[in-house]
Amino acid sequence: MIDFERVSKTYPGSDEPAVDDVTLHAPAGRTTVLLGSSGSGKTTLMRMVNRMIAPTSGRVLVRGVDVADQDPVRLRRSIGYVLQDGGLFPHRTVADNIATVPVLDGATRRRARARAMELMELVGLDASMARRFPAQLSGGQRQRVGVARALANEADLLLMDEPFGALDPLVRADLQRELLGLQRRLGTTILFVTHDIDEALLLGSRIVVLRAGGRIAQVGSPEEILSAPADDFVASFVGADSARRRLRVHGPAGARIVVDGDGRPVGVLDDLDADLDDEAGAGR
């Protein structure tokens, strides 16, 4: 769905590249996570997908076509984009923010509004918020509006730049779960930026670990990244070498409490076989 081919970006006036020779495939219907610390080039990479930034060298293909050969307006409307800072229009209501693209695409006001209300429900926003302005919302509510707006154009491709940053853990977990469900239901292709390893492990079917200077350190499934980090940088970034990730099962048979390397409980071991039996029993 997205291909980066030897992509580099050096901003004018800078000696160091922000993105350095990145070759990467983000497959359709999957979530690819760009994981790296601040300044590692995540946003720069993402904004090259919808032509908001042009690569200095190399090319980016979306749906098999070089974005440089695509009409930028049409390209952007075909891609949902959740900005790092929310990026809502301050003088438009919540409903109007969400309905922006459908209205541009010629939907009637009535139809666009109905769609906005559906999406608000989907991301867990109360209908009473529809007439509020972004300044009258909490940070978490604003981020939900940003996600709803990105979903409104029913794009099969979604770019999400730290969409759940600055949220408290409960709201964040809630939105992560909703996104997982949505992605599975709709088969959306997602490119997701985060610097949070737990979020990357939860959401990513592939994780791309970036090091300083916008170079790829490793690409792999969550299991691969955790169990076979490519080098010390990846190991320490994902914490594979820290006590927190070295989990053991503790307690008498049947208790199955999972503890970390220091013996602190971190969870309860699920019986996978029983889960599978349940699902088979439910006819799935």
Contact flag: residue 50 with ligand ATP (CB under 6 A): no
Query: x/- contact string, 168-197, with ligand ATP (CB under 6 A)?
Result: ---------------------------x--
| Interacting partner of 229 out of Mg ion, ligand ATP, none (Cβ under 5 to 8 A depending on kind) | none
| Interacting partner of 128 out of ligand ATP, Mg ion, none (Cβ under 5 to 8 A depending on kind) | none
Would you say 50 and 159 are in contact if contact means Cβ atoms under 8 Å apart? yes
Q: How far is the CB of 284 from ligand ATP (least distance, A)?
A: 39
Q: How far is the CB of 227 from Mg ion (least distance, A)?
A: 28
Interatomic CA distance for residues 245 and 54, integer angstroms: 39
Choose, by CB under 6 A, the member of 1, 7, 18, 67 that binds ligand ATP.
18
Contact flag: residue 86 with ligand ATP (CB under 6 A): no
Choose, by CB under 6 A, the member of 24, 42, 115, 143 that binds ligand ATP.
42
Q: Contact positions toward Mg ion, by CB under 5 A? A: 43
Partners of residue 4 on adjacent β-strands: 24, 60
Contact flag: residue 44 with ligand ATP (CB under 6 A): yes
Contact flag: residue 14 with ligand ATP (CB under 6 A): yes
DSSP letter at 130 equals G
How far CA 270 is from CA of 68, 176, 248, in Å, comes to: 48, 20, 13
Interatomic CA distance for residues 134 and 85, integer angstroms: 12
Stretch that binds ligand ATP, among 41-49, 60-68, 72-80, 148-156 (CB under 6 A): 41-49
Would you say 144 and 90 are in contact if contact means Cβ atoms under 8 Å apart? no
How far CA 139 is from CA of 17, 88, 101, 109, 132, in Å, comes to: 32, 12, 22, 27, 14
**CB-nearer residue toward Mg ion: 96 or 162:** 162
Contact flag: residue 8 with ligand ATP (CB under 6 A): no
Query: x/- contact string, 192-231, with ligand ATP (CB under 6 A)?
Result: ---x------------------------------------
**CB-nearer residue toward Mg ion: 26 or 119:** 26
SS3 content of the chain, % helix, strand, coil (to 5): 40, 25, 35
| Interacting partner of 63 out of Mg ion, ligand ATP, none (Cβ under 5 to 8 A depending on kind) | none
Half-sphere exposure of 78 (CA within 13 A, CB side): 13
Choose, by CB under 6 A, the member of 25, 28, 39, 271 that binds ligand ATP.
39
Interatomic CA distance for residues 250 and 259, integer angstroms: 6
Q: Identify which of 172, 218, 181, 175 has the alpha carbon closest to the alpha carbon of residue 34.
A: 218
**CB-nearer residue toward Mg ion: 157 or 210:** 210
Q: Identify which of 123, 96, 234 has the alpha carbon closest to the alpha carbon of residue 177.
A: 123
| Interacting residues with ligand ATP (CB under 6 A) | 11, 14, 18, 36, 38-44, 84, 195
